[in-house]
Amino acid sequence: MSRMDPLFSHYLDDARRRHVLRRMRLMQPVGAGRVQVADRCFINFSSNDYLGLSQHPDVIARAQEYAARYGAGAQASRLVCGTSEMYAAVEAKLARAKGTEAALLFASGWQANAAVLPALLKLTGQGAASPQVFTDKLVHASLHQGCAAAGVKQIRFRHNDLDHLESLLQAREGTGGQRFIVTESVFSMDGDCVDVYRLAQIAQRHDAFVYLDEAHATGVLGPGGMGLSGFAPGKIDLIMGTCSKALGGFGAYVAGSRALCDYLANTCSGFIYTTALPPAVLGALDAALDLVPTMDTARVQLMANADYLRVGLQALGLETGASSTHIVPAVVGDAQQAMSLSARLETRGMLVTAIRPPTVPQGTSRLRIALSAAHTRADITSLLDALSVSLSRQETADA
C-alpha cells in the first residue's frame, strides 16, 4: 500500500461521483471495424483505424517480414546506433508522400508535440524577443503540454476562427519575437477542418511559422490521402502527424525542410533520448505508405458514409456541430447522459465511446463516432436504429 493511497482513492471517488471516471477494459480486434469484449462481438465505432489498415494483410506481412529480417527491437536511440538503412528509406518515403524535403519519425504523437514545440520555441529568443504562439482554443492536450514545457503563454484564438486569428496577429504587429501558429487540420473531438490554404496565406502575411497537426487527416484527406497540408504545398513550415490512426500502425512523424529535421535531431529531447521504433513498426508504416495512395475509392465511401450518418443523427435531434469528416460527434451535453447512452448502445452491440470533460468543454459531453472504411452502410443504419431506440428509452427513464 502506498502512503498516498488515501489521496488516490479520494480523487477516484470524486471522479466516479462526477461521472468522469475512466477505466480500461480488455478488448480484442476481430477484423477491421469489429472488436470482441469478453464473449461478445461489437461493431466498433470508437477506433481511429480509419482505413482498416491495422488489419490489412499487406501491413501485417511487412511488419512480420521486417521483424524477421531486422529483429524485435532497434537496440538504441537514433543518434547512437538506432538509425539503419531501413529507417532512412521509410523516412524518405514519408517525406515524398508529404511533399517535403525530409521527415523524422517519433515514438508517438503526444511525445512529438510535447517535445518538438519546446525545441522550436527555445531557438527564438527571450524577454522582449520571446516567441508569440497563437493556438486554436481546442488544440490537442499534447500541444498545450509542449507550450507549457517551453514556458510560453499561449495567445488563443476562437476555434477555427481565422478572422479572429488574423485580428490577434494584427493587434500585436511589431511586438515580440518570432510568431508561431499552432493548430490541427482535423480536430479529433469535433471532426471539423481548418482552411489550410487560408491559414497559409495569413501566416505569410504576418511572417508566422505554421505548426500543423495532421494526426486525424493523414491517410484520409487531402491529395493522395496524405493530409490537408497538400492543399498548400510548400507553405506549411512543420507538418506533424501520426502513424497510429489511418496508417494502422504506431509512431508519429514531423515533415518539413531538411534543416528543420536536422535541427530537431540535434535539439529535441524527445527524439534524442528515446529508443528508435522497432523494425516491425517501420515495416507496417512502409506498407501503409504504399497502400494509402491506392485507396481513393475507400476514402470516397468513407466520407459518403459520414454524410449519411450526420443526416441520420440530426434527424434524431442530435447535434453534430461543424463535423465534415469521418469523425462525427453526437453532442448530448450532460456527462451522465452521454455515459448512459453509450451503455445502452453497448447492449445493442455497438461500441461508441462517451467523451466527457476535461477532454471536451463542460456541457458538451458527446458520443464520438469514428468511422472506418471497413464499416458498411448497413453498420451505420444499425447504429442509427440503435440510437433511436436508446434515446427513446432514455427519455422514458428521465420522465
Alpha-carbon distance 362 to 37, whole Å?
30
**Which of the residues 98, 216, 326, 375 is marked catalytic?**
216
The strand order across the sheet containing 350-351 reads 28-29, 34-37, 40-44, 350-351
Provide the 3-class DSSP secondary structure of residue 132.
strand
Choosing from 98, 140, 206, 375, the catalytic residue is: 140
153 tagged catalytic: no
Exactly one of 56, 98, 206, 245 is catalytic; name it. 245
Q: Which of 48, 77, 84, 382 is catalytic?
A: 48
* Phi and psi based region of residue 136 (left: phi greater than 0; alpha: psi -120 to 50; beta: remaining): beta
| Helix 258-267 / helix 109-121 crossing angle, nearest 10 deg | 90
**Does the active-site annotation cover 398?**
no
For residues 173 and 245, give the distance between their C-alpha atoms in angstroms, rounded to a whole number.
Answer: 38
CA 355 to centroid of chain Cα atoms:
15
Verify whether residue 213 is a known catalytic residue.
yes
C-alpha cell, 248: 494502422
Q: Minimal CA–CA distance to 341: which of 326, 324, 355? A: 355
User: Which of 91, 184, 192, 286 does the annotation list as catalytic?
Assistant: 184
**C-alpha–C-alpha distance, residues 90 and 68, integer Å:** 17
Amino acid 297 reads T
Question: Catalytic one among 136, 213, 286, 379?
Answer: 213
How far is 97 from 94, CA to CA, in rounded Å? 5
Which long-range contacts link 27-34 to residues 24+ away (Cβ below 8 Å)?
A: 29/54, 29/55, 31/55, 31/374, 32/56, 32/372, 32/373, 32/374, 33/372, 33/374, 33/375, 33/379, 34/374
Question: If we measure between CA atoms, which residue out of 237, 133, 226, 228 comes closest to residue 182?
Answer: 133
Give me the phi and psi of 218, to 5 degrees please.
Answer: -55, 125
184 is catalytic: yes
Question: In the block, which residue shows the cell 510535447?
Answer: 114
216: annotated active-site residue? yes
129 exposure class (CB count in 10 Å sphere: 0-12, 13-18, 19+) = exposed
Contacts 24+ apart (CB under 8 A), 86-89: 86/279, 86/282, 87/276, 87/277, 87/282, 89/286
CA distance 101 to 151: 30
Enclosing H/E stretch for 363: none
Catalytic residues: 48, 140, 184, 188, 213, 216, 245
